[in-house]
Structure 1
Amino acid sequence: MKDVELKKLLLAGVASAVIGTGNAAAQEVEPAEVVAEEDKRLDTIVVTGIRSSLRNAMDIKRSSQGVVDAISAEDIGKFPDTNLAESLQRITGVSIDRSNNEGNQVTVRGFGPSFNLVTLNGRQMPRSSSLLSDGIPRSFNFRELSSELVSGVEVYKTGRADVDSGGIGSSINVKTARPFDYDGFTAFGSVKGIIDTSVESGDDITPEISGLVSHTFANDKVGVLLALSHSDRDSHRDRAGTQGWVRNRGQNIDTSNIDNGTGSWWAPWTADLDSWNTERTRQNGQLVLQFAPTDRIEATVDYTATRFEQTTEMNRQSLWFDSPTGTPDANGTLVNPIEVTDELNFWAWQFYEKIENDSIGLNLEWQATDTLSFELDVHDSTSKSNPDGVTSERLANLANPGKVVDYTADFSGDIPVVNVDDSALAGGAYNPANIIADLFQTRGYQIENNVQQVKLAGQWENAGTGALTAVNFGVQSTKYQVDTKQFGTFAFVTDLDISGLGLTFNETGDALDEFGNASTLFPFIPQYSANGFINLTQDQDLFFQNAPSLNGVEEKTLAMYFSADFETEFNGMGISANAGVRFEDTDVTAYSVQPAIENLQYWHEEEIQLVTGADVAQSLSGGYKRILPNFDVKADILDNLVGRFSYSRTMTRSGLGNMFPSTTITQRRPGDTFRASQGNPGLLPYESDNFDVSLEYYYGDASYVSAGYFQKYVDNFIGQSTEIRTIADAAGNPLTDPSVDPGVGCPSDVIPTAACLNRPDQPVINFETTTTTNQGSAEVDGWELNVQHMFGATGFGAIANVTIVNADVAYDIRQIGGNRALTGLSDSANVVAFYDKNGLQARIAYNWRDEFLLSGGNEPTFTEAYGQIDANASYEINDHFTVFVEGLNLTNETVRRHGRYSEQLIDAEQYGARFNVGVRAKF
């Protein structure tokens, strides 16, 4: 027994010596953190747990050139959080966006998802989506990748010549396991039940299963690794809000109270109450083969696949402010809109997302001589959304007939309060006998995004004397191709027989409990299926599908880089530096294929319909060359005090949807402002000159404090501008307004009806056209403050960090049009407390993010400040089995978004708390 205890103490001492920070005061590593595993060849010490993960991340930060933060897995298959984005938000300067109560994209130093490049094992990954609200995305969505298959994440906050361009905010590299990372046979498995307290339709408990098997053969010259993950989740959310706010909408508006500098006022489109039920399935797989025929050659072939499928059924009780009256407040917000002789609306939606990602790659490493090495990396990766061609959004609306309902709303509180006068309808507005079919719509994207890259890199190490230690060089070719189909069909079907629809109503109950009973908004919410509605239109020969419009972008980039590493001493301080430059030459070709506009038809009293003809193709091209230098210097001022200075130039390419040359008419309601949007393939990328200064004091084992200041000067700032333009039809004549002096029998729901088409004698339409342009420069600066402390050998530890970000460009809510601002810019903070000793690990974390601009344009959307508490705990039963429980959003926080002013509510959403309970095994 004494020998066993002595061996444990010796192992603990060796581990402490290997991983210690060099501080004589470093704390002893607890024996609970050290697991000795014996294989055929040697005794291997595997250090696991929260503390070891934080230590590994700290060591990466300390040893890196430039400003780099990292997260390491706490054990095989055990990442700190169940979602990668939720782990990343613990890093100073990183905050996240959430979708369906899951982290999906990240913001770094105030720069939103589109400003951050995410790579997988150093390779650019494509992304696709099918929802119109997502646009045509570049930025990686972390919800599609299981955290159990990730071994680490590195966040490069400063640019480097050898790191792919594209991230002004950061470049984030996600690393997965390789068989040569382990000795001999290694396996882990995890089974958990996802308990979602929000579920109203579906299963309260759903499974998530993951596992990895790795083995090396032939004296470790051959390795194979297979990792798989499957996750199901059902969830629910409640929402109250509007479909946005419209400037100068309404009639007989009393503007006497307005004091906003513009004289404008804003009215809500709608007042809504939603019920969302979602089913999600995520599957990940990775197969990796490695071969090392000699000590100087190593080859890796890997295949990574992810499958993501999500279906959401949503029902909405709503009313529409077509011609509101009322008195705006001082900000110009019509907080008390009044609508007379209208109707209630009863909506059903189905959202369907199916995303398939596949990546195959080859990596060759060759140590040509003792000082010269080369690496060749090739991969072909594709992301497809809705590859089966199923339209991703289907929606239907029912309404009261005859427009005899009056209503008012009060938007001065947390959620709108609605009063409905339906006395003119015998039996009331919610009586199915007083509800008829109104319209259906299908829409969405089908996207195929492909990235092909070839990279040849080399390194020469100086075996002699002198400050120069290494020279790095490389060349890379990247082809980025995205092809999209955009679907859109809209039709009024007021003659549809809905007797077989099965319409019922649910009481709203305690939806949005933070604000009290939601029946103050609407007492009931409709229950029927959008698919069922559309099936009825097909059965009754009322369904049709418009041909999709086609858009695409091809970017070809040739990059070359060169950098040098140096090490020296100055006044007793160890100095290390890296200086490099990256050159990139990018050619861009964008195309659009869309039906030509033949006419406009006064189709319905609330809509002017496009009458289209044959498809017309457009193609435009552009290009740019950029030189991206970097210089990083690190000084070991004292044994445990590190100072840094970094300069780099980075860039972020324009959003893909901004470059399509097509013109889209976005709003065509009679009596309203006509609006359109047009792309700009000639956009130049954002460029940023970045400066970083920081101090880091490492005072104990896995304990340190750091303070950093950063400044970014952004050129070629991309923003939206609005111009008044006319739009020509296929014959080259400007479109006119068919709702002014329409023909007999107009509006008409029949297409086409000659009497209702626009005529040359009608007024020419001046479209308020939004386009994207390069608009100058912006300056962003901020502070990152972080402390990570271990309380001796107690097992307790804590982390606290805060990021403060400022910019000289912000959305000016008192300016109409021409705004340019950074989306995602906000302060953030984290507080984490944990315990890790004797096989027990527990952690509680609070993450807070201040208000930020979610989207700009003519009318902005702001996400209000949000904080969330998460917690997890695990216990190691023995060397092989661990049980765990995890809790997210424990206090059921509310996500709120508003328009130009805080009283212009857009969304108030609640998701409920979520728990995971399971067991993890490793061998």
Structure 2
Amino acid sequence: MRLGQHSRHALRLATSVSALSLMAFAAPAAFAQDDTVDEPAADEIVVTGQRSSLTSAVERKQNAEEIVDSIVAIDIGKLPDVNVAEALQRISGVQISRNRGEGSGVAIRGLTQVRTELNGRDIFSTIDGRGLSWEDVPAELLAGIDVYKNPSAEQIEGGIGGLVNLRTRMPFDSAGRTISGAIQAVHYDLREKTGYNASALLSDRWMSGDQEFGFLFNLSYGKGYFREDAITIEPFFQREDFGNNYIASGAGISSWNGDRERLGGSLAFQYRPSADLEFHAMVLTSDYTFTDPQTGMFAYGAGDNGALTPVGDFTFDEDGTMLTGGFAGPPTQSFTRHTVRDSRTTDYSAGFKWDEGDGFRVSGDLQYVDSDTSFTDPTGFGTTTGGFNFLMDLTGDLPTFTVTPDDFLTNPDNYTYQALMSRSAENTGSETAARLDLEWDFDEGSVFRSFTSGVRYTTKDIETADSGFDWQSISGPPWDGSDIATAEYNEFPEYYALDPYQDDFFRGDGATANFGPHFVVDPALLAMGEESLVTLANLNPLSGAVAGFTPFDEFNTQEEETLAAYGMLKFGNNAVPTPYDGNIGLRVVQTKVVADGTQTLTYRDPSDTGTDIQSVSDISVEQDYIEFLPSMNIRFFLQDDLQLRVAASRGLSRPSFYDLRGNFSLSQNYYDADNDPSTAPVLQPSQAQAYTGSGGNPGLKPLVVDQYDVSLEHYWKEGSIAYMTLFRKNVHNFIQNGVYTTDFDVPGYGSQEFTVSAPVNGEDGTIQGFEVGMQTFFDMLPAPLNGLGLQANYTYVDSEAPSPSAVDAVGNPLLVPLEGLSENSYNLVGLYEQGPISARLAYNWRDDFVRTTSGNGTGNLPIYDDAYGTLDGSVSYQLNDNLNLSLDAVNMLDEIRYTYQGFENRPRDYVINDRRISIRLRATY
């Protein structure tokens, strides 16, 4: 099909990227012609702006002791991309995920266990994981980003995928007083709204006698918008009554129309009382609010054996997958959801550096991080009564749906309020860290150059409170089989509205022209939060007066204490035919964890068939383990411009706090609609596992990786590089969603065996592959073409790792790759820098990957993202020495993202997002 053809075409282009990079090794003269002169020429290339940033990034990579890739923002407040994650995707080996069209998650070489640091210190957000939420950080606060792929002993443990260090500006980075500000307007074309970003920086340094002082203040604020439209096809089931062909069990449409608000700031102070002593202190804060309203409508057929009345002509492809067909009287569900997430992270740090002057240096840091996240998620559902026909056509580029009679969904008489669902959560976390490092230089001329050692101690406290998903029926039978209630739309007209986002759905492509207009619970009501839930609950004439909802019923606290010590020897020898340098070291880290939570057991009172009993007991689990983490990094200088790196290390990633939570919910599956409620409780006859449970696993072991890298790097002129890196990671203790059995006492029923779903440590796995890339400017071309440049890189990643829990449509187990891992990915970036003009056109592509094996509505059916590419561009003009005007465009190709259910001809989602076009004016003095 067309999407597979696109993947093959893109893979051929990726091969070309690799060949181009290899040419840079084989024939450097073709790229470096006339690039060396004895004296400056009148037309010498002046390195400024974008080219200066790229040149600085290459220099950091060339001079680093480890394998590292960098992004540098020479111009204040201007990373190459407007989003931190989107900037990281340009680095070979880095793949990102997106949230409503914006970069949000980062994986390095296929692993999402990536450690995040701020200026070499720990930083995190309390959103279940351990790292920073990339959406939370304003890019304007950063001076650069370093990505370490194989660490040294002095670096903090915690990322088996890699380490990302976010660098902010400090006062002593500038030669003197600097004042800078920028304002940017961003238009979101699908949402048809314009947002803005503004930033300001003041930095100064001055002398007072022999003492030097520095001060910096940086502030950023942004308000953005988004729209995401999606067409969804429900799972396909094989049915005997359709000739064992595969029938889609329904379809629907959804639209998200929300906003993002970011506020970030930093305050930094540096003090140098003498040439050999320096103190620094800094506060950085980030406040992020993500508002994510959603509306939609679904019509459902039947699963593998449910009753189904077909209408229309059913046709199938050569594999027996439905192309056209429909159902009579399908159940429907309209919905309105209003999700809001507020996240705040503040980092306080202070430290010093002292150079004794005789080869002995000391440095130290104190740090305190405070983070909290709140989350609310109310949802209101509606449904239709009566009959209509629903037909699907999956033969075109986009599915089309038809409803007959065509006025059925436009008549509010056909709707009732169905149900409501609520979830809220509050997470808080804090960390205190102290670090002390010592370094001794050896005598000049020795192969051993220096020895560094240090200790680091941390305490981290995490508290989570979660309500879980609380479902309550408004119309129809509740879960416990009590009397049926109805609440029709027309009885309460003030609480429903036409779906406001159906106009211009999918840019008016006609995909759903006959699926509506339809009615939903009024989005303005859901925006009121819990108050809206109380209003909706009281529409049920049998519910009585509902005063409010209990916000939290699941509490979890975790205390983590770590103590790490390391020693690292640096060495080198320039007096041999092949000079070399490097480091070898050992880091030892002890981790103590205490997880406190609750075990909730729900069962039917043996003496009263109509009463549930809920028993809650406290849980406390302790862990204490020590890991030894050796590392080695060696660099061989094969020529002045050619170096070979060899690296090996062991690293660890601790399980996420969500996986470590000490909460369990156990239940007895007692009710079935066929049971007579007047008799003793009867376990569901359809349930093979009558007693079930779910929760976290505070006994999880950390993931441990043994990793190896070999990298060949050619630096044939300033700012130019060609490289190839081979890597392999042997990962131990992979964490998977698993199932195990254990015995619990149930009052009145004795000891029972429960089947519990929870994260568990699985088998070992291997990830291996290679990266190849290059960067250069073509100075040998005649003006104005000598301003042209190129960045290109390609990554291949192969994994043999434990498969996530996945099954096909009928429950047979499947083997699938790691979630989020694309085997092939590449970047191709065209550059131009000439005089006041700077431009960039950047294409990023990755091939198919498993998005999830636990999706909403698809269970453990694997959902794949098809190969996908994005094109972004920017152009800027330096108006004078102080003013710069730039234009940026994101998602220029407006590609539809396509996901599928195991096979490319069984679609799951078609998704489009905004194109973002922005104009920025930046002033620096």
Which TM bucket (shorter chain)? 0.7 to 0.9
The Cα offsets for residues 615-669 of structure 1, whole Å up to 9 and x where unpaired, read as 4321222232111111111011011111111111111222322222323479989
Q: Which amino acid in 2 is paired with 1:841?
A: S
The Cα offsets for residues 807-854 of structure 1, whole Å up to 9 and x where unpaired, read as 123567669458685222212100001111211101100000111122
Aligned to 2:227: 236
Aligned to 1:702: 719
Aligned to 1:188: 180
Tell me whether 1:397 sits opposite 2:375 in the alignment.
no
Q: Which amino acid in 2 is paired with 1:399?
A: T
SS in 2 for 1:180: helix
Aligned to 1:360: 348
Deviation at 1:410, TM superposition (A): 5.7
Q: Specify whether residues 666 and 823 from structure 1 end up closer, same or farther in structure 2 by C-alpha distance, changes over 3 A only.
A: farther
Q: Which amino acid in 1 is paired with 2:522?
A: Y
Q: Specify whether residues 514 and 885 from structure 1 end up closer, same or farther in structure 2 by C-alpha distance, changes over 3 A only.
A: same
Tell me whether 1:796 sits opposite 2:821 in the alignment.
no
The Cα offsets for residues 136-181 of structure 1, whole Å up to 9 and x where unpaired, read as 1223222211111111111100021111111111101000011111
Tell me whether 1:589 sits opposite 2:597 in the alignment.
no
Q: Within 5 Å, give how 1:500-579 maps onto structure 2.
A: 500-505=494-499, 508-513=502-507, 516-519=510-513, 524=518, 526=520, 528-529=522-523, 530-531=526-527, 534=533, 536-537=535-536, 541-542=545-546, 544-546=548-550, 547-569=552-574, 571-579=576-584
Q: 2: distance between equivalents of 1:33 and 1:522?
A: 60
Aligned to 1:315: 295
5+ residue gaps, structure 1 = 1-19, 35-46, 130-135, 259-264, 602-607, 736-765
Aligned to 1:384: 372
Q: 2: distance between equivalents of 1:337 and 1:733?
A: 52
Q: Specify whether residues 777 and 570 from structure 1 end up closer, same or farther in structure 2 by C-alpha distance, changes over 3 A only.
A: farther
Q: Specify whether residues 332 and 838 from structure 1 end up closer, same or farther in structure 2 by C-alpha distance, changes over 3 A only.
A: same
SS in 1 for 2:57: helix
Does the aligned pair in 1 maintain the 2:472–2:537 contact within 8 Å? Answer: no
Deviation at 1:564, TM superposition (A): 0.7
Deviation at 1:478, TM superposition (A): 2.0
Does the aligned pair in 2 maintain the 1:33–1:52 contact within 8 Å? Answer: no
Does the aligned pair in 1 maintain the 2:388–2:404 contact within 8 Å? Answer: yes
Q: Within 5 Å, give how 1:612-691 maps onto structure 2.
A: 613=614, 615-664=616-665, 676-691=693-708
Q: 1: distance between equivalents of 2:118 and 2:915?
A: 30
Does the aligned pair in 1 maintain the 2:721–2:775 contact within 8 Å? Answer: yes
Aligned to 1:822: 818
Deviation at 1:277, TM superposition (A): 0.9
Aligned to 1:272: 252
Taking only aligned residues, the RMSD between alpha carbons, in angstroms, comes to 3.4
Aligned to 1:209: 198
Q: 2: distance between equivalents of 1:792 and 1:26?
A: 16
Deviation at 1:787, TM superposition (A): 1.1
Q: Specify whether residues 299 and 818 from structure 1 end up closer, same or farther in structure 2 by C-alpha distance, changes over 3 A only.
A: farther
Tell me whether 1:124 sits opposite 2:111 in the alignment.
no
Q: Specify whether residues 317 and 725 from structure 1 end up closer, same or farther in structure 2 by C-alpha distance, changes over 3 A only.
A: farther
Q: Within 5 Å, give how 1:727-746 maps onto structure 2.
A: none
Q: 1: distance between equivalents of 2:519 and 2:225?
A: 21
Of the three residues 137, 142, 147, the one matched with 1:155 is 147
SS in 2 for 1:631: strand
Does the aligned pair in 2 maintain the 1:241–1:416 contact within 8 Å? Answer: no
Q: Specify whether residues 651 and 255 from structure 1 end up closer, same or farther in structure 2 by C-alpha distance, changes over 3 A only.
A: farther
Q: 2: distance between equivalents of 1:691 and 1:398?
A: 55
Q: Which amino acid in 2 is paired with 1:591?
A: D
Does the aligned pair in 1 maintain the 2:409–2:519 contact within 8 Å? Answer: no
Aligned to 1:282: 262
Deviation at 1:583, TM superposition (A): 0.6
Q: Specify whether residues 246 and 830 from structure 1 end up closer, same or farther in structure 2 by C-alpha distance, changes over 3 A only.
A: same
Q: Specify whether residues 408 and 642 from structure 1 end up closer, same or farther in structure 2 by C-alpha distance, changes over 3 A only.
A: same
Does the aligned pair in 2 maintain the 1:689–1:714 contact within 8 Å? Answer: yes
Tell me whether 1:493 sits opposite 2:474 in the alignment.
yes
Does the aligned pair in 2 maintain the 1:145–1:306 contact within 8 Å? Answer: yes
Q: 1: distance between equivalents of 2:792 and 2:600?
A: 56
Of the three residues 284, 304, 313, the one matched with 1:304 is 284
Q: 2: distance between equivalents of 1:330 and 1:138?
A: 47
Deviation at 1:543, TM superposition (A): 5.8
Which stretch shifts more, 850-859 or 521-530?
521-530
Which stretch shifts more, 721-730 or 291-300?
721-730
Tell me whether 1:722 sits opposite 2:739 in the alignment.
yes
Q: Specify whether residues 89 and 253 from structure 1 end up closer, same or farther in structure 2 by C-alpha distance, changes over 3 A only.
A: same
Q: Specify whether residues 318 and 734 from structure 1 end up closer, same or farther in structure 2 by C-alpha distance, changes over 3 A only.
A: farther
The Cα offsets for residues 17-47 of structure 1, whole Å up to 9 and x where unpaired, read as xxx999846997998986xxxxxxxxxxxx6
Tell me whether 1:770 sits opposite 2:764 in the alignment.
no
Tell me whether 1:199 sits opposite 2:198 in the alignment.
no
Q: 1: distance between equivalents of 2:749 and 2:39?
A: 78
Q: Within 5 Å, give how 1:164-183 maps onto structure 2.
A: 164-183=156-175
SS in 2 for 1:519: coil
The Cα offsets for residues 240-271 of structure 1, whole Å up to 9 and x where unpaired, read as 115x64989xxx7548647xxxxxx8975x52
TM-score (norm 1): 0.83
Deviation at 1:413, TM superposition (A): 6.2
Tell me whether 1:484 sits opposite 2:464 in the alignment.
yes
Deviation at 1:217, TM superposition (A): 3.0
The Cα offsets for residues 472-524 of structure 1, whole Å up to 9 and x where unpaired, read as 11111122322111123211122445221142255845423597533265554
Q: 1: distance between equivalents of 2:198 and 2:698?
A: 44
Q: 2: distance between equivalents of 1:609 and 1:395?
A: 29
Tell me whether 1:786 sits opposite 2:773 in the alignment.
yes
Deviation at 1:535, TM superposition (A): 5.6
Deviation at 1:531, TM superposition (A): 4.0
Aligned length: 826
Q: Which amino acid in 2 is paired with 1:489?
A: D
Q: Within 5 Å, give how 1:15-94 maps onto structure 2.
A: 24=36, 48-94=48-94
Does the aligned pair in 2 maintain the 1:415–1:521 contact within 8 Å? Answer: no
SS in 1 for 2:574: strand
Q: Which amino acid in 2 is paired with 1:282?
A: R
Q: Specify whether residues 818 and 849 from structure 1 end up closer, same or farther in structure 2 by C-alpha distance, changes over 3 A only.
A: closer
Q: 2: distance between equivalents of 1:609 and 1:861?
A: 40
Of the three residues 841, 846, 863, the one matched with 1:844 is 841
Deviation at 1:580, TM superposition (A): 0.6
Q: Which amino acid in 2 is paired with 1:862?
A: Y
Q: Specify whether residues 274 and 667 from structure 1 end up closer, same or farther in structure 2 by C-alpha distance, changes over 3 A only.
A: farther
TM-score (norm 2): 0.82
SS in 1 for 2:135: helix
